[in-house]
């Protein structure tokens, strides 16, 4: 995306990937390997290089000690604070603003139900409010107070924000009440405060230095009942606050300098700014995309050891003099030791060319990242840490110059260190064979196994995280028409314009380690590869892995087990021809508690990653072929069926004694390569690995995901039913078309691989299992799936509104595949438009915290636009103007972390800046312009009054903010990420021309997407004038308000709003994240589209391009 002043320096469609991988791809040097670092650094002239630390202002360290000295003096020692300050509480004041309610009505009722059950049945009602505790270093003018009120109040309910507590007014009227207030610990500013203060500064509210939010609950008791005792109040607070980061406020705050949390200092390791890492990565990525002009020579992320470690390593072996005073801190009472050793993160140390300093500073300024030059490479071979303030103090007082705080020869610190020797004792384990009662049926066993957390649905983990951000996600966690969380492998695209990418997978078998650490290590590798195999990779030899070890290595037996596992792992990987190139060790997994040693079971997690030549060749577990599908079993254990450490054993509270293993490593390699060949020829329609739960669970999961049934017919060959179906020996189940069965079997036979037909797929949603010709199981797919989903839904009830969980749980029983249909055929953009020398310009506008700019730019670029990366910093500084653009796109993300309601801070930075709001309004009224707002951008357009517009009502109309439609918290009370169904109706929206009548899937990812209309007349006009072009619909294409088809509870299923002239469109779903078919997690085969081709959503952006012509 072109950026002001640097159009040629940036690559429009560069991958936005994981920062660690991005560093490697772009040629940056993460300084990790000392040997390679020594070789690399000798290639540069270090005496001309700056050492820079781009980072954020706030430093998170241990509890600060305020000293009693009456004045500020420079520090003189390693343990001295940077600046000694008196208590300045008298120089600041705290004001309080109260807003009701804190919880939605549905959430309050759910809390009341829990409180009645766990605290006291005498609590008959709960009222809530939030209190904004605002620290000021000066009084606010009436104008600034008005701005602050707009920021903190709900736009359509300004009367619900006041300086007096609503709850205290209620207490004065009702004696049978008690108020409980909880909020963040006061040792450090929270991420909420950091972002809120950033918003205030963008509005010139510089008087606000800290802004924390506390939550207040009024518990109403049954008249005549006894007051709540201390124990009951503690029970209540345990339900509503996090003891790690929050505390109880006994009284109204008058200062943030408080001893209320002296007992705990957990907040010392919390982040002060939720967006700090993203802003830093934007700077690094901007440098990387300059290619040969990249100003960064070397880069090292800060972690363990803090500045002390990262600086020493990045200057090795040449050496440098470092000034501790150059490091930016958020609290000047920090000692030199605290600054030098504190392990705060989201900071990188960079080696930068001397002539590139101003360029890096400009990039940091644009992304609002603070940068400090802390030293210069000098070739001394030492790290010399000086305190320039102490030096200056000595000069002023005619004292001898102080010695350096630290002066060390790097070779002695980081050079070749002598190897350590560890002595381990082996401890023999006493095991017992598995003992399952003979009368246990297959269904009995399944009822236990399918509910285990290691086997059950992971829905409770997947819908609450953004699985589509960047638009480069080709395979995320969910698969099939019902989007069940069953994917084996993750796949990302390298760019939006090609099909190359990368794949990664995970393998771990911790329970097996209790029996045989060697087998556990081999099985972890095996599971990782049998997950990875379903993505087409460049070669098995290209696979790299990360190994994460977790052991209580100092305890008898544990260290020896880890050693055995490591040796077995190395031997296995050497045979496979793959390698570990990184990892993490946690070798203190034990603790003393009440005189007893508590230890975690030893574990190894293998994470593999590799390049992909074609991301469209990925195969998922969901059965797809109906009556034409044949199921094949590839047995990697060659007939062994060992039950030790299995989910079945765990379900019966046992471990067993006979552990599965990989007895033939080369056979695993042979199977991997054979499956890869079948993927290349598209001969496999579905595939899944046998892991937790065994063969029967593997095939059931494939049927659950495909929403179909199967008929298994298995010959156990003198093994028991339990062994044959629940042993967790490595293996694969593949679905092939009946007409390709002989071809597949022949190819596998030529490769020396045995594959057995074990069943066939059925259209009817029923499971039948025959063992040695006898029927052992006949159940509905939905009934068994309900067992598999049960544990997940129980966990879901702890995370979101119980009524929503119930709706999804009951609705899943009768779900069908979505019946999407298109009123047009998706096509690529005309090549002439893509190669035109003059293209209409579109501004891709982002704010601090936005994360959807890259995919938005890619979608517009694919339609023939020239997208420009425009930050709010550019507009506020006057470096860019909207006059030169035909279109603007407000992107998705979490501007300022959405701390003062979604997009509120972003909107305020426009509305309360007169030159800026005038520029936006001029653009809005120009008849040759269009705008699109997605997700956070949609919320912004509503707050600006751009949709539905002044002619309908709202902020720009006669009703003002009080009648302006808004997007508020989801009905479920939680962030939701789903691939949801929508219907496109008739509307004046220019971007939906020719798409009317289509129903299709689209990514949705938001926590505040529920359309709310304070004025019913505005809603009536919107509906009558067809100004809601996109609506949520169910599997039958009916507009719906039912969860989860409607993920936020919007009335009439409204997912988008447009202006009456159709030029301005705001929508909560993300079309820019699925404008190519490979971005679709599932689509009906009736569409007959190419997975490598354009999706229907590209038509939106093409319509805008056509309109501009």
Cα(317)–Cα(323) distance, integer angstroms: 19
Look up 925 and say whether it is catalytic.
no
What Cα–Cα distance (Å) separates residue 692 from each residue in 81, 477, 527, 660, 719? 54, 17, 10, 12, 19
Judge contact between 984 and 820, C-beta under 8 A: no
Return the number of other C-beta atoms located less than 10 Å from residue 742's C-beta.
Answer: 10
Strands, sheet with 93-99, edge to edge from the N-terminal-most edge strand: 161-162, 93-99, 123-136, 208-221, 177-184, 246-248
918 CB-near residues (< 8 Å, 6+ apart): none
Rg (C-alpha) for the chain, rounded Å, is: 31
Cα(772)–Cα(718) distance, integer angstroms: 10
Cα(37)–Cα(994) distance, integer angstroms: 58
Helix (H, G, I), strand (E, B) or coil at 305: coil
Judge contact between 51 and 326, C-beta under 8 A: no
Look up 364 and say whether it is catalytic.
no
Given the residues 1006, 1070, 1074, 1108, select the one marked as catalytic: 1070
Look up 1070 and say whether it is catalytic.
yes
What Cα–Cα distance (Å) separates residue 873 from each residue in 81, 191, 220? 34, 21, 48
Helix (H, G, I), strand (E, B) or coil at 197: helix
Judge contact between 808 and 856, C-beta under 8 A: no
Q: What is the C-alpha end-to-end distance of the chain, expressed in Å?
A: 22
Helix (H, G, I), strand (E, B) or coil at 394: helix
Judge contact between 111 and 239, C-beta under 8 A: yes
Cα(1054)–Cα(1041) distance, integer angstroms: 9
Q: Which of 296, 353, 414, 544 is nearest to 33 (CA)?
A: 414
Judge contact between 471 and 858, C-beta under 8 A: yes
E strand map for 941-1087: 966-968, 976-984, 999-1006, 1010-1012, 1030-1032, 1056-1058, 1064-1067
Distance of CA 169 to the CA centre of its chain: 41
User: 291 phi and psi, to 5 degrees?
Assistant: 65, -125
316 CB-near residues (< 8 Å, 6+ apart): 31, 34, 37, 38, 41, 410, 414
Given the residues 935, 938, 1033, 1074, select the one marked as catalytic: 935
Contacts 24+ apart (CB under 8 A), 539-544: 539/610, 540/576, 540/577, 540/578, 540/669, 540/672, 540/673, 540/676, 541/577, 541/578, 542/610, 542/611, 543/578, 543/608, 543/609, 543/610, 544/578, 544/579, 544/580, 544/581, 544/608, 544/609, 544/610
CA atoms within 13 A on the CB side of 894: 21
Given the residues 181, 508, 847, 1072, select the one marked as catalytic: 1072
Cα(666)–Cα(1101) distance, integer angstroms: 50
Q: Report the DSSP pairing between strands 49-55 and 161-162.
A: unpaired
Q: Report the DSSP pairing between strands 1064-1067 and 1030-1032.
A: unpaired
What Cα–Cα distance (Å) separates residue 913 from each residue in 148, 881, 917? 14, 15, 6
Cα(94)–Cα(427) distance, integer angstroms: 61
**Which residues participate in catalysis according to the annotation?**
935, 1070, 1072
């Amino acid at each position: 995306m072109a950026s002001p002043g640097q159009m040629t320096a940036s690559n429009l469609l560069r991958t936005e990937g994981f920062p660690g991988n991005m560093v490697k791809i772009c040629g940056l040097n993460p300084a990790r390997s000392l040997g390679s670092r020594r070789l690399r650094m000798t290639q540069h002239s270090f005496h001309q290089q700056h050492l820079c630390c781009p980072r954020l202002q706030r430093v998170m360290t241990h509890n600060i000690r305020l000293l009693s000295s009456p004045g500020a003096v420079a520090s003189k020692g390693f343990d001295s604070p940077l600046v000694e300050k008196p208590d300045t509480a008298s120089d600041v004041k705290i004001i309080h603003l109260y807003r009701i309610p804190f919880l939605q009505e549905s959430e309050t009722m759910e809390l009341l139900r829990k409180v009645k059950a766990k605290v006291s049945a005498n609590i008959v009602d709960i009222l809530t409010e939030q209190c904004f505790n605002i620290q000021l270093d000066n009084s606010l003018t009436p104008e600034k107070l008005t701005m602050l009120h707009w920021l903190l109040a709900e736009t359509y309910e300004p009367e619900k924000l006041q300086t007096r507590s609503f709850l205290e007014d209620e207490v004065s009227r009702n004696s049978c009440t008690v108020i409980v207030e909880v909020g963040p610990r006061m040792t450090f500013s929270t991420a909420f405060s950091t972002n809120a203060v950033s918003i205030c500064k963008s509005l010139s509210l510089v008087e606000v230095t800290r802004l924390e939010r506390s939550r207040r609950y009024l518990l109403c008791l049954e008249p005549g009942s006894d007051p709540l005792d201390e124990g009951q109040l503690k029970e209540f607070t345990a339900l509503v606050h996090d003891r790690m980061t929050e505390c109880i406020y006994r009284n109204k705050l008058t200062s943030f300098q408080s001893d209320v949390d002296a007992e705990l200092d957990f907040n010392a390791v919390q982040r002060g700014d939720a967006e700090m890492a993203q802003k830093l990565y934007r700077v690094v990525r901007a440098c990387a995309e300059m290619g040969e002009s990249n100003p960064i020579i070397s880069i090292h992320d800060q972690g363990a050891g803090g500045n002390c470690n990262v600086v020493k390593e990045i200057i090795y072996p040449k050496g440098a003099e470092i000034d501790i005073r150059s490091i930016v801190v958020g609290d000047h009472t920090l000692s030199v030791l605290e600054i030098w050793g504190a392990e705060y993160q989201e900071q990188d140390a960079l080696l930068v060319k001397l002539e590139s300093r101003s360029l890096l500073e400009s990039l940091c300024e644009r992304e609002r990242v603070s940068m400090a030059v802390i030293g210069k490479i000098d070739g001394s071979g030492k790290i010399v840490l000086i305190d320039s303030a102490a030096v200056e103090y000595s000069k002023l007082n005619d004292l001898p110059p102080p010695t350096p705080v630290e002066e060390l020869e790097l070779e002695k610190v980081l050079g070749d260190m002598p190897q350590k020797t560890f002595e381990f004792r082996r401890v023999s384990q006493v095991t017992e064979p598995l003992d399952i009662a003979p009368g246990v049926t297959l269904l009995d066993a399944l009822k236990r196994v399918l509910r285990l957390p290691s086997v059950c649905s992971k829905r409770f983990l997947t819908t609450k995280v953004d699985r589509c951000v960047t638009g480069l996600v080709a395979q995320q966690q969910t698969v099939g028409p019902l989007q069940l969380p069953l994917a084996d492998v993750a796949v990302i695209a390298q760019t939006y314009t090609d099909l190359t990418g990368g794949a990664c997978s995970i393998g771990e078998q911790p329970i097996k380690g209790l029996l045989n650490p060697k087998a556990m290590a081999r099985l972890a590798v095996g599971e990782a590869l049998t997950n990875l195999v379903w993505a087409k990779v460049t070669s098995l030899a290209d696979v790299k892995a990360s190994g994460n070890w977790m052991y209580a290595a100092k305890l008898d037996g544990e260290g020896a087990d880890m050693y055995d596992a490591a040796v077995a792992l190395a031997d296995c990987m050497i045979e496979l021809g793959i390698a570990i190139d990184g990892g993490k060790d946690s070798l203190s997994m034990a603790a003393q508690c009440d005189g007893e040693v508590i230890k975690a079971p030893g574990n190894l997690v293998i994470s593999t990653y590799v390049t992909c030549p074609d991301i469209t060749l990925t195969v998922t577990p969901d059965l797809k072929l109906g009556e034409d599908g044949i199921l094949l079993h590839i047995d990697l254990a060659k007939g062994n069926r060992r039950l030790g450490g299995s989910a079945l054993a765990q379900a019966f509270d046992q471990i067993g004694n006979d552990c599965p293993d990989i007895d033939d490593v080369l056979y695993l390699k042979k199977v991997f390569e054979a499956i890869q060949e079948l993927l290349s020829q598209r001969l496999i329609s579905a595939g899944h690995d046998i892991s937790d739960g065994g063969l029967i669970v593997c095939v059931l999961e494939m049927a659950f995901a495909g929403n179909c049934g199967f008929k298994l017919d298995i010959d156990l060959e003198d093994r028991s039913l339990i062994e044959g179906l629940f042993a967790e020996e490595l293996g694969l189940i593949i679905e092939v078309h009946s007409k390709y069965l002989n071809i597949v079997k022949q190819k596998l036979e030529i490769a020396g691989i045995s594959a057995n037909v074990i069943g066939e797929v059925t259209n009817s949603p029923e499971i039948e299992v025959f063992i040695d010709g006898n029927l052992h199981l006949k159940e509905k797919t939905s009934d068994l799936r309900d067992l598999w989903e049960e544990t997940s839904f129980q966990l879901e009830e702890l995370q979101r509104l119980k009524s929503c969980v119930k709706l999804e749980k009951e609705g899943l029983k009768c779900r069908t595949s979505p019946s999407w249909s298109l009123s047009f055929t998706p096509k690529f953009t005309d090549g002439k438009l893509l190669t035109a020398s003059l293209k209409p310009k579109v501004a891709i506008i982002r704010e601090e915290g936005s994360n959807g700019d890259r995919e938005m730019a890619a979608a517009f670029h694919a339609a023939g636009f020239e997208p420009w990366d425009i930050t709010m910093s550019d507009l506020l500084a006057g470096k860019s103007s909207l006059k030169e653009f035909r279109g603007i796109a407000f992107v998705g993300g979490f501007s300022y972390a959405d701390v003062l309601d979604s997009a509120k801070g972003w909107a305020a930075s426009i509305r309360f800046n007169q030159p800026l709001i005038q520029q936006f309004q001029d653009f809005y009224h120009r008849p040759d312009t269009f705008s699109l707002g997605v997700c956070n951008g949609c919320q912004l357009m509503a707050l600006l009054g751009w949709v539905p517009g002044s002619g309908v009502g709202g902020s720009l109309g006669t009703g003002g903010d009080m009648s302006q439609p808004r997007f508020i918290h989801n009905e479920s009370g939680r962030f939701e990420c789903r691939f949801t169904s929508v219907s496109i109706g008739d509307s004046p929206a220019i971007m939906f021309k020719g798409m009317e009548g289509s129903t299709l899937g689209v990514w949705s990812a938001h926590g505040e997407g529920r359309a709310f209309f304070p004025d019913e007349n505005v809603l009536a006009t919107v509906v009558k004038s067809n100004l809601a072009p996109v609506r949520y619909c169910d599997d039958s294409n009916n507009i719906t308000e039912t969860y989860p088809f409607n993920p936020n509870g919007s009335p009439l299923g409204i997912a988008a709003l447009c202006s009456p002239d159709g030029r301005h469109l705001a929508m909560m779903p993300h079309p820019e994240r699925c404008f190519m078919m490979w971005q679709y997690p599932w689509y009906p085969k009736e569409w007959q589209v190419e997975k490598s081709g354009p999706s229907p959503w590209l038509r939106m952006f093409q319509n805008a391009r056509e309109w501009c012509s």
